[in-house]
A = this chain, B = another copy of it.
Amino acid sequence: MTIREEQVLERISRARNRKARLREDAITLAHGSGGKATHTLIEAVFREAFGNPLLDRLDDSARFTVNGADLAFTTDSYVVSPLFFPGGDIGDLAVNGTVNDLAVSGAIPLHLSAGFILEEGFPVADLRRITESMQRAADAAGVDIVTGDTKVVERGKADGCYINTAGVGVVQSPPTGEVRPGDAVLVTGPIGEHGVTIMLARGELDIEADLVSDTAPLNCLLADLMCSCPGAVRRMRDATRGGVATVLNELAADAGAAVVVEEDAIPVRPAVRGACELLGIDPMYVACEGRAVVVVAPEASEAALASLRSHPLGAESAVIGRVKDDPPGTVLLKTAFGGTRIVDLLVGDPLPRIC
């Protein structure tokens, strides 16, 4: 890296460490993107109001003990549009998403809640299709939907159906949490399929592609990984809103380290790459709903890769990069042409309402 590059990176790093300040007076779609605007909203409004040690970790799940039981607890609302898409629907997405948030915390998902907000006039047949899909996803993940709620709002006050799921899991073998220079960074399969599938399903683009959403429960895949590499798994994150780029940035920021990834090593299907080129977006920022980013100790990288690849949902796993000391809090991409570029957090998301 040249001195000039180092100066630029230092300035970026300083800018990032400033206290979050929300400049907007009104909520924009970018606040729901999972990117910079979402981070600012969380810092300036939610952490400001709710701040407590469990929330402040901002992990995928909150962890606490109750009478000696080590629990993980998480929630997500789903507003995906359209509700039905190749490879899935809002129902299995809502189950898999919460299962995965528990799984990446090293928890065995046990019980889910389901809260429905339905628009007056929503077809009962669609609701049945969604609930059946949720149950199939729950069966696949080995969880039960044990409590729920339904609200109905007037025509025009929702978009058919919104679902919130919360989940409780028991933590058995959590990742160590500490990411260190030298650690290997893996991804559990090709990236961006969910986001591109949703975009194509909206029909706004005249692209035909043989793509389906990657929505899937990762709990067995990741539990197997934890068993295969005892004590060597540092962090796991599912790459949803904001894609792999956002997860890598969060990991780099938390660790105060750099994450350097090799463009050539990142699995991207040709159909995703082609659609992204036409859309003018980078697959690194496109949401997955069945892929995790995993950081493991240097010596465990081969064992981790073998464990992930032995599972159908991780068959195309790859080591995509390494953790380095410098520049702290930064993600660098070594391009196929030998250059290096910064992969920053985006302010918003090129694809709103992806989950």
Q: How far is B119's CA from A153's CA once the two chains are assembled, in angstroms? A: 14
- With A67-B69, A127-B45, A128-B49 given, is the CB distance from A55 to B145 under 8 Å? yes
Q: How far is B153's CA from A156's CA once the two chains are assembled, in angstroms? A: 12
Report B-chain residues with C-beta under 8 Å of the C-beta of A131. Answer: 45-46, 48-50
Q: Mark A61-81, 1 if CB is under 8 A from B, else 0.
A: 110101111110111111100
Stoichiometry, as copies per complex, reads: 2
10 A-B pairs within 8 Å (CB atoms) are namely: A25-B123, A48-B131, A49-B131, A52-B145, A71-B71, A73-B111, A75-B166, A77-B164, A79-B117, A166-B166
Q: Mark A30-68, 1 if CB is under 8 A from B, else 0.
A: 111100001001100110111010110000011010111
Chain B: CB-nearest residue to A80: B151
Report B-chain residues with C-beta under 8 Å of the C-beta of A45. Answer: 124, 127-128, 131
Chain B: CB-nearest residue to A91: B49
Instruction: Confirm or deny: A8 has a beta carbon within 8 angstroms of a beta carbon on chain B.
Output: no
Report B-chain residues with C-beta under 8 Å of the C-beta of A128. Answer: 45, 48-49
**Are the C-beta atoms of A66 and B64 separated by less than 8 Å?**
no
**Are the C-beta atoms of B76 and A38 separated by less than 8 Å?**
no
**Are the C-beta atoms of B147 and A55 separated by less than 8 Å?**
yes
**Are the C-beta atoms of A114 and B152 separated by less than 8 Å?**
no
**Are the C-beta atoms of B29 and A75 separated by less than 8 Å?**
no
Instruction: Confirm or deny: A168 has a beta carbon within 8 angstroms of a beta carbon on chain B.
Output: yes
Residues from 298 to 335 in A contacting B, C-beta threshold 8 Å: none
**Are the C-beta atoms of A153 and B31 separated by less than 8 Å?**
no
7 other contacts beyond A25-B124, A32-B150, A50-B138, with CB at 8 A cut-off?
A: A31-B118, A45-B131, A50-B145, A54-B147, A61-B147, A153-B162, A166-B166
A57 to chain B, nearest CB (A): 9
**Are the C-beta atoms of A77 and B113 separated by less than 8 Å?**
no
Residues from 125 to 144 in A contacting B, C-beta threshold 8 Å: 125, 127-128, 131-132, 134-135, 138, 144
Residues from 1 to 46 in A contacting B, C-beta threshold 8 Å: 22, 24-33, 38, 41-42, 45-46
Report B-chain residues with C-beta under 8 Å of the C-beta of A148. Answer: 46, 50, 55, 75
Chain B: CB-nearest residue to A150: B32
Q: How far is B29's CA from A156's CA once the two chains are assembled, in angstroms? A: 13
**Are the C-beta atoms of A66 and B170 separated by less than 8 Å?**
yes
Residue of B52, B74, B119 near A113 (CB, 8 A) is B74
